[in-house]
Structure 1
């Protein structure tokens, strides 16, 4: 089986103002290993395409300006059609701390992000779960997380499957 089967091929995030939001997404995606693959901004529409070329599979996240007729409709967390939040994997606790210090604090100081929670342990999500939570200019929620408990659960699953 292809190890990439079922992974996300691409994701489009709609934003109110693509040019303004680019100021948020550029440092976030650059830190996460994405490269800018294309962009365009004009008075009615704008977009940026970000790709990870190192994964041997198409993996792209685009920010696209919302249709002008919907510009006054704000993001409502929990509404149908809107994501609740998107979490990106970190390499380590130190990676979460570095992202917070190098990316999020400057973004918040530039009024391009809102930090909901600085890096913290989140035992309610599992042992070792460590994350920072933040929002883009439109209020879309994101998380940068290390979850070593995932590997422990994966090993437990393998043990159960091999016993069967």
Structure 2
């Protein structure tokens, strides 16, 4: 029995104010990152989108769901208990980070569907060669797309 996938992320569910409103942001980001829409429901009592990657011989799913209506008016507070600070996705290289900004973030920002917090830049405080862009979804949930060559050095 292989333990190669033990401990890896299986799925993550992100609550948003409104799935229909957030769908353009998440759809553009996830498609660019190689995810496929596995299922969705818009306009019903339970709105969701399930985005999946099955190319690494293990399920990996990130879903967005509409928040509980009684809690939907509470704003996201980065750093509060139960709220994620930010979620980072791996890039192939520095060019991949630049391409993500040009092909995904700039069109989303122009449409008012995301905020680019930091254009691609070096982040030496996180290690030599660390290169990332930071951005937020329509609810202010923060994300990062990062190339970190330090993992490759450590693995070598």
Using structure 1 for the length normalisation, give the TM-score: 0.92
Query: Match for residue 124 of structure 1?
Result: 125
Q: Is the 8 A contact 1:113 1:134 kept in 2?
A: yes
Task: Give me the whole-angstrom Cα distance separating, in 2, the residues matched to 1:45 and 1:113.
Answer: 24
What is the deviation of 1:71? 1.2
Matched, 1:42 2:43: yes
Matched, 1:152 2:153: yes
Task: Give me the whole-angstrom Cα distance separating, in 1, the residues matched to 2:96 and 2:43.
Answer: 36
- The 3-state SS of whatever aligns with 1:14 is strand
Unaligned runs of 5+ residues in structure 1 are 156-164
Query: Match for residue 26 of structure 1?
Result: 27
How do 1:14-163 residues align onto structure 2 when only pairs under 5 Å count?
Answer: 14-155=15-156
Superposed CA offset, 1:76-109 (max 9, x none):
0000000000000000100000000000000000
- The 3-state SS of whatever aligns with 2:92 is coil
Unaligned runs of 5+ residues in structure 2 are none
What is the deviation of 1:41? 1.1
What is the deviation of 1:154? 3.4
Q: Kindly indicate which of the two structures has a greater share of residues assigned to helix.
A: 1
Give the number of equivalent residue pairs.
Answer: 155
Which entry has the higher C-alpha Rg, 1 or 2? 1
What is the deviation of 1:44? 3.9
Task: Give me the whole-angstrom Cα distance separating, in 1, the residues matched to 2:12 and 2:144.
Answer: 16
What is the deviation of 1:43? 5.0
- The 3-state SS of whatever aligns with 1:78 is coil
- The 3-state SS of whatever aligns with 2:138 is coil
CA RMSD of aligned residues (A): 1.0
Higher deviation after alignment, 42-51 or 15-24: 42-51
List structure 1 segments (4+ residues) > 4 angstroms apart after TM superposition.
none
Task: Give me the whole-angstrom Cα distance separating, in 2, the residues matched to 1:92 and 1:36.
Answer: 25
- The 3-state SS of whatever aligns with 2:22 is helix
Query: Match for residue 160 of structure 1?
Result: none
- The 3-state SS of whatever aligns with 1:68 is coil
What is the deviation of 1:10? 0.2
Task: Give me the whole-angstrom Cα distance separating, in 1, the residues matched to 2:88 and 2:47.
Answer: 24
